[in-house]
Structure 1
Amino acid sequence: MRKWSFLVVAAALISLARPALADDDVDRVRKVLREHPEIVLEAIRQQGPAVLEVIETTARSRQKELERARFAQALAKPMNPVLEPGRASLGPQGAPVTIVEYSDFLCHFCGQASGTVKTLIQNHPQDTRLVFKHFATGKNSVRAAIYFEAITLQDPKKAWAFMDSVFARQKDVSEKGDEILEAIAKDIGVDAKRLAEDLKRKELADRVVADTKEARDFGFEGTPVFLVNGAPVRGAVPIDILEEFVGVAAKAGPPAKSQ
């Protein structure tokens, strides 16, 4: 058994026995377990499910502690994404917490995370702001991102509706590209003539490229990624975790402004 595995199991056994032990006995139990590791193996054979449950709970708790520590360190040295005017966003511009989301329209986990972060914004309408950016790596992902930016020029509310529809039809968009993107735009009432013209605007394609480069320059490799006041949170994390990080960021105050 690896040393770390033994220590975790030993800690689990102590946790199971702790209510029946006096404080003075705990050190003696630890000493016995170190000297006689076969006791651990016997305990696993006899109380395997209970031991494993404690191990899993301890591991999850430790992981959360590490994530909290990393987040606090990142807040002290925040990343500074470019937030030019005209970006699609939700929430007040002066909110104490800004969440910058890097997303890929054809990423399954991005679809999950989109609903989570929008729920968080709804729960904290005065305290949080979401700014949407792209980390588009495939042809149809890039096309969907350009459509989103073009529709934002017309009506930001329709752009968010477009996002929801694309996430709901990822397979179709992945296989058929513009055919499905055009159909979605039509369904949500976008001005087709203006959309066709805006899709040709070089600055929109350049924005998608710049967003993706920025994400890579920050060292991100997968999607989604959120910057909560400049501190990265990777993956489609549960809303309670995101809520906790937002609370920590709000107490820490706004990050330094990008130059």
Structure 2
Amino acid sequence: MPPSRPTRPARRPDPRPYAVRKRPLTFVVLAAVLVLVLVFGAMAALFSSGNSTADNQRNPTPGDGTLQPLPEGHPALALARRDADDPLALGAADAPVVMIEYSDFQSAFSGTHARGVHHELIEEYVERGALRIEFRNFPVYGPESDAASRAAWAAGQQGRFWEFYDAAFAEEFHRDTGRFSEDGLRELAEAAGVPDVERLLADMESPEADEAVATDAEEGVELGATTTPAFLLNGHPIVGAQSMDTFRETIDQLLDAA
């Protein structure tokens, strides 16, 4: 009787965002990832360095809770793009505090943040020039998340990203139910007031959309983000759909230091 073959161990699920997993790893892409590792090596696992990466737990400030600004030249500060023409950003390009948001449009906790604290931050800080919000697509929940990210980017090309953001997160929903199918995206684009829906559907399949979404996702991977939403405020991490008081505490300390 021939010996039985050893059981092959189960394959572990790939933790990388879908946009990164599906992107062809050409020489150019591999080189770009290597550069990111070298540049941001000091920040690897930044989001996962706290006590927990659960969506509803904050990454605490060190020591006695007093936030210390990062030193000039720290690589985390270079992540803020500060492009005045960036359609995925809100607020003055020279605002003293930049908050980078890594979100998935199918994340329940990203939706909680979008429907609540996001608008409070705009009213309290963005409108008076104290805060800038820069969005990064971080699609971790598969093909529908990837489609939503591409469509959001495409909406931005017509100046309607934040309207799409509000429409996509307007209500709670279950993942992978067709909300971000072609028909669902048409409805969301119309709700967001996108002028040319057919152009959006074409743009979201373009190499430019692929590059933009994958670049954002790779940035989050290199920083160690494993859950959404995740935020960097002048390089300081906050993880999860936290209260306005949590954001206010960090922003006010950064503004005082500035």
Residue 193 of structure 1: how far off its partner (Å): 2.7
Q: Deviations over 1:201-222 (max 9, x none)?
A: 2111211111111111111111
Match of 1:247 in 2: 252
Residue number among 181, 184, 205 corresponding to 2:185 in the alignment: 181
Q: One-letter code of the match for 2:81? A: L
Match of 1:81 in 2: 79
Matched, 1:214 2:219: yes
Matched, 1:117 2:118: yes
Residue 171 of structure 1: how far off its partner (Å): 2.9
Match of 2:97 in 1: 97
Secondary structure of 2:94's partner? coil
Structure 2: 5+ residue stretches without partners: 1-56
Using a 3 Å threshold, how does the CA distance of structure 1 residues 142 and 251 change in structure 2: closer, same or farther?
Answer: same
Q: How many residues align?
A: 189
CA distance, structure 2, for counterparts of residue 94 and residue 84 of structure 1: 7
Match of 2:67 in 1: 72
Q: Deviations over 1:109-166 (max 9, x none)?
A: 00111231331122122111101111112111111011111011102xx321211221
Residue 64 of structure 1: how far off its partner (Å): 8.9
Match of 2:5 in 1: none
Structure 1: 5+ residue stretches without partners: 1-62, 254-259
Match of 2:237 in 1: 232
Residue 84 of structure 1: how far off its partner (Å): 7.0
CA distance, structure 1, for counterparts of residue 147 and residue 243 of structure 2: 29
Identity %, equivalent residues:
30
Match of 1:223 in 2: 228
Residue number among 154, 166, 169 corresponding to 1:167 in the alignment: 169
CA distance, structure 1, for counterparts of residue 119 and residue 90 of structure 2: 8
Residue number among 150, 156, 162 corresponding to 1:146 in the alignment: 150
Q: Kindly indicate whether the alpha-carbon contact (under 8 Å) linking 1:71 and 1:231 is maintained by their aligned counterparts in 2.
A: no
CA distance, structure 1, for counterparts of residue 241 and residue 138 of structure 2: 15
Q: Which has the higher contact order (CA 8 A, sep 6+)?
A: 2
User: When the two structures are superposed, what TM-score results if normalisation uses the length of structure 2?
Assistant: 0.66
CA distance, structure 2, for counterparts of residue 139 and residue 170 of structure 1: 19
CA distance, structure 2, for counterparts of residue 65 and residue 87 of structure 1: 29
The CA RMSD over aligned residues, in Å, is 2.6
User: When the two structures are superposed, what TM-score results if normalisation uses the length of structure 1?
Assistant: 0.65
Larger radius of gyration: 1
CA distance, structure 1, for counterparts of residue 210 and residue 172 of structure 2: 20
Q: Kindly indicate whether the alpha-carbon contact (under 8 Å) linking 1:98 and 1:130 is maintained by their aligned counterparts in 2.
A: yes
CA distance, structure 2, for counterparts of residue 66 and residue 185 of structure 1: 37
